[in-house]
Structure 1
Amino acid sequence: MSASSTAALPVIVIGAGPVGLAAAAHLTARGLTPLVLEAGPVAGSAVRAWAHVRLFSPWGEVIDPAAEKLLAPTGWTAPDPSAYPTGGDWADRYLQPLADALGERVRYGARVTGVSRAGRDRIVDADREAQPFVVHVAHADGRQELLSARAVLDASGTWSTPSPAGASGLPALGEEAAADRIAYRVPDLTDPAVRARYAGKRTAVIGTGASAFTALASLADLARAADGGGTRAVWVLRRGLTGSTYGGGAADQLPARGALGLAAKSAVEQGHADAVTGFRTESVERDGDRVVLVAEDGRRLDAVDELVVLTGLRPDLSFLSEVRLDLDERLQAPVELAPLIDPNQHSCGTVYPHGHRELAHPERDFYLVGMKSYGRAPTFLALTGYEQVRSVAAALAGHPAAADRVELTLPETGVCGGSGLFDTPAPTVRQNEGGCCGTPAGGCDT
């Protein structure tokens, strides 16, 4: 295929979440044609899965500037920039209107099952970059389709692949067999059926990040409620309790995040949760309808009715096997980006803004963007993702100066690094499950 015909092809964006739709807005503003493929039936399908959770980031920090310009002619009214949306608010009041404004450039029920170069597997060098990308799509109605693209941006996130209970990073022995007693998300205790599942029960929570804090605070609220008598939590930590375990508290420059850590601390101090430290789960054993956690050192916990595993999320790279990626061996993030986002060294506010150069792979014009670009690191901000796609869109449009220019000043996020607490919303409303953007990124269980 000639260069001119390849240039006429769309830029395929995988995922109609916050960053995927922002990418489409930036591409449109640059005169390029985006095609957003969303596996779910609506925009922000993953966000809607945690609709009950309130972001710690206000509206003013979760709306992309290019998207706002695209929305303006539609009569869309921007929410109060100082208010904090729930996931449901974010999807209904921003993501779906943005997808509607993009019109036919967004397709639903379209799951990407593979990406490659036309006629070239990952081994072949000859004339590789002259070939368009070929994207395999499975539609909700059973149809299979092959699409061609001049570039591909994977903004599919990490929500679909939570990390397991096993301390080794692999599922604990017996974990899959006990799946009916395990949740990998913070339970929505506003749902009567879910509430009944946990009320009066003993629940183990594995993890030390914001997700775990959210679950502990929520279960403590349930224990205090009239219908929650007997509700107890067992907080399973792989390390010990230290002064930084609960984050920055009142010293945190993101007050809502600090408050969540204090809410988790209160749950322990008031006896609603028992902390078990230095416990690295090796196996999950059935005890009738209950489960027993067994540590690598042989310790066994008393049986619990439910297990909530909040040990983080990880990227699904299975459909990218024919794309030449250059990923950090630890974080599974682009190698140039990984040192900038390493959670052992950085918090959300100390991650430098970055763009197309840090996101580049050996496969030219292929980019992981948004939460997926961070691999297993939970230090992501929505603002950072918006800056990523602004830069990538400029690079694809042939505007290197704009692509290299930094157009983002991150807010100072205060106490964060090293504590495992990377994101929270206000504890007076239902807390956020993870990532610094206010989207679930799972706990940082370190």
Structure 2
Amino acid sequence: MNNNTELSEPLPVAVIGAGPIGLAAAAHLLERGESVVVFEAGASIAHSVSQWAHVRMFSPWKFNIDSAARRLLQQSDWSEPDPEHLPTGGELIADYLTPLAQVPAMAKCLRFDSKVLAISRRGLDKVRTRGRADRAFTLRIEQNGELEERAFKSVIDASGTWNQPNPMGSNGLHPIGEEQVRDLIDYGIPDIRGCAREKYQNRSVLVVGSGHSSFTGVLDLLEVKKEAPATQIIWVMRKACLDQVFGGGANDALPARGEMGLRAKAAVDRGDVELITPFEIQQLAAQGDQQIQVSGSGPDGERSFTVDRAIVKTGFRPNLAMLREIRVEIDPALESVRALAPLIDPNEHSCGSVPPHGARELTHPESGFYIVGMKSYGRAPTFLLATGHEQVRSVVAEIAGDHEAAANVELELPETGVCSQDAAPSCSAEPAPTSCCSAEPAADEGETSACCR
């Protein structure tokens, strides 16, 4: 292949990730007559979503279907779901993403078991500047153990964050000793009431995290406890103030999300759940063959306790390794696209909303490269599918040369019912992000981030 390939050649656009946002990007590209290849590391579309198929989303169908995807589906015999129904992750796949992937034009674009290892410019490393924007992108891809490189005119990274869970340590690191008890720890959203039930029933279970995903775990364990009363639930979070942790209740525009917070708070108030907060986990150790000794510190000093299993719901972080040879602007704190950071910073914002944004905010020094979807938010927890749909609509318009459409961004998101200005004076400490769950659902809690429960 000629190392001097230039963008004047008719090259396709690469989309990384065949989740809801990646497929939406592909639908917009197809609608604009662009050639596109979608690389999915898993064996099927929405591989990350399939891992939380049992989880019901907070947001109804009307917030979860992209406009270009809908138009593409309407060319087939697809029946659109009830716009007010709250789908599970499995329904999101079965009733929307699978039919979308089966539309012939889309099916031709999909490449499965194809992991993108690196992105670069043809014949240039990151340091070289002259002529950079005229060079095609090169993607190095691993498929079935074989490596190949392909050229593209633009790249849309919609790979999400699901495969990079945050550690359970409050300092962002795995606690000392975690490797000794790793078999007793689950990250993400295990199917507590389903196939994973035997792991937890009649055992003492630690839940770590303070977002809606942790609510999911606690409430599911409470259901298990009804039939297995020896089940003990210990809930640990690092927040000193709980005024915002449990969400907006009746003021939440997504009722299922608000109701979940109320139920979690009620369980704590009744004593059905032991809440330990603020608490910083510092060290883990094996206690016998099948238990974990948890050590850490709180306002009353050092403390240790023993549990049978732990479920970690502390969010996700983006994989930035593949971007090492291209020029990107990443916020040093959130690891989000830099321009988005002030709009979504959980230290400043606790509303599940964000001002409209598109190609302008998602542009990097590497012309033609964009990060979209949950990965664009880095570690911030407030991402919704509707946000990603507008991102890719704008980005694709920019790639296609329709700068007016790219700049005309509009976004309507449901309010959480909890905003930072509502915090009580006693809560001057960090506000609790009212995140929507994504594929772990949200960053305090991914790829697919639409609100889930």
For normalisation by structure 1, the TM-score amounts to 0.92
Q: Aligned-pair RMSD on alpha carbons?
A: 2.1
Contact 1:356 1:391 in 2 (8 A): yes
In the TM superposition, residue 191 of structure 1 has moved relative to its aligned partner by 2.5
In the TM superposition, residue 244 of structure 1 has moved relative to its aligned partner by 2.3
2:433 to 420, 442, 445: 420
Contact 2:372 2:388 in 1 (8 A): yes
Map of 1:428 onto structure 2: none
Alpha-carbon separation, structure 2, partners of 1:440 and 1:403: 23
Map of 2:151 onto structure 1: 148
Contact 1:165 1:175 in 2 (8 A): no
Contact 1:57 1:84 in 2 (8 A): yes
1:111 to 104, 109, 115: 115
In the TM superposition, residue 286 of structure 1 has moved relative to its aligned partner by 1.2
Report Cα offsets for 1:136-176 as digits up to 9, x if no partner: 1111x222111110011110000000000111101110112
In the TM superposition, residue 11 of structure 1 has moved relative to its aligned partner by 0.5
- Which sits farther off after the overlay, 405-414 or 328-337? 405-414
Contact 1:207 1:236 in 2 (8 A): yes
Alpha-carbon separation, structure 2, partners of 1:315 and 1:437: 9
Map of 1:240 onto structure 2: 240
Amino acid at match of 1:390: R
Alpha-carbon separation, structure 1, partners of 2:207 and 2:102: 39
Cα gap change, 1:332/1:441 in structure 2, threshold over 3 Å: closer, same or farther? farther
Alpha-carbon separation, structure 1, partners of 2:59 and 2:332: 30
In the TM superposition, residue 319 of structure 1 has moved relative to its aligned partner by 1.4
In the TM superposition, residue 129 of structure 1 has moved relative to its aligned partner by 1.2
Contact 1:312 1:441 in 2 (8 A): no
Amino acid at match of 2:19: G
Cα gap change, 1:412/1:254 in structure 2, threshold over 3 Å: closer, same or farther? same
Map of 2:423 onto structure 1: none
Secondary structure of residue in 2 paired with 1:308 = strand
1:54 to 56, 68, 72: 56
1:320 aligns with 2:323: yes
Alpha-carbon separation, structure 2, partners of 1:433 and 1:231: 25
Map of 1:162 onto structure 2: 165
Alpha-carbon separation, structure 2, partners of 1:215 and 1:172: 21
Alpha-carbon separation, structure 2, partners of 1:369 and 1:278: 34
Contact 1:247 1:416 in 2 (8 A): no
1:209 to 185, 201, 211: 211
Alpha-carbon separation, structure 1, partners of 2:87 and 2:280: 35
Map of 2:14 onto structure 1: 12
Alpha-carbon separation, structure 2, partners of 1:231 and 1:96: 38
Map of 1:385 onto structure 2: 388
Report Cα offsets for 1:276-305 as digits up to 9, x if no partner: 112111111111121111115662332100
Contact 2:64 2:450 in 1 (8 A): no
Amino acid at match of 1:203: V
Alpha-carbon separation, structure 2, partners of 1:68 and 1:215: 33
Map of 2:339 onto structure 1: 336
In the TM superposition, residue 266 of structure 1 has moved relative to its aligned partner by 2.3
After superposition, residues 261-280 of structure 1 pair within 5 angstroms as 261-280=261-280
Contact 2:120 2:137 in 1 (8 A): yes
The number of residues matched between the two structures is 433
Cα gap change, 1:237/1:347 in structure 2, threshold over 3 Å: closer, same or farther? closer
1:251 aligns with 2:255: no
In the TM superposition, residue 328 of structure 1 has moved relative to its aligned partner by 0.8
In the TM superposition, residue 346 of structure 1 has moved relative to its aligned partner by 2.7
Amino acid at match of 1:67: A
In the TM superposition, residue 66 of structure 1 has moved relative to its aligned partner by 0.4
Map of 1:293 onto structure 2: 294
2:31 to 29, 32, 35: 29
Contact 1:353 1:410 in 2 (8 A): no
Alpha-carbon separation, structure 1, partners of 2:218 and 2:209: 10
Contact 2:137 2:154 in 1 (8 A): yes
After superposition, residues 55-70 of structure 1 pair within 5 angstroms as 55-70=57-72
Alpha-carbon separation, structure 2, partners of 1:441 and 1:95: 14
In the TM superposition, residue 422 of structure 1 has moved relative to its aligned partner by 1.7
Secondary structure of residue in 1 paired with 2:338 = coil
Report Cα offsets for 1:181-209 as digits up to 9, x if no partner: 111123202324x1011000001111111
Alpha-carbon separation, structure 2, partners of 1:45 and 1:304: 31
After superposition, residues 57-96 of structure 1 pair within 5 angstroms as 57-96=59-98
Secondary structure of residue in 2 paired with 1:357 = helix
2:314 to 285, 302, 311: 311
Alpha-carbon separation, structure 2, partners of 1:239 and 1:346: 15
In the TM superposition, residue 229 of structure 1 has moved relative to its aligned partner by 1.9
Cα gap change, 1:231/1:416 in structure 2, threshold over 3 Å: closer, same or farther? farther
Cα gap change, 1:302/1:409 in structure 2, threshold over 3 Å: closer, same or farther? closer
For normalisation by structure 2, the TM-score amounts to 0.91
- Which sits farther off after the overlay, 50-59 or 263-272? 263-272
Secondary structure of residue in 1 paired with 2:388 = helix
2:359 to 339, 344, 356: 356
1:199 aligns with 2:201: yes
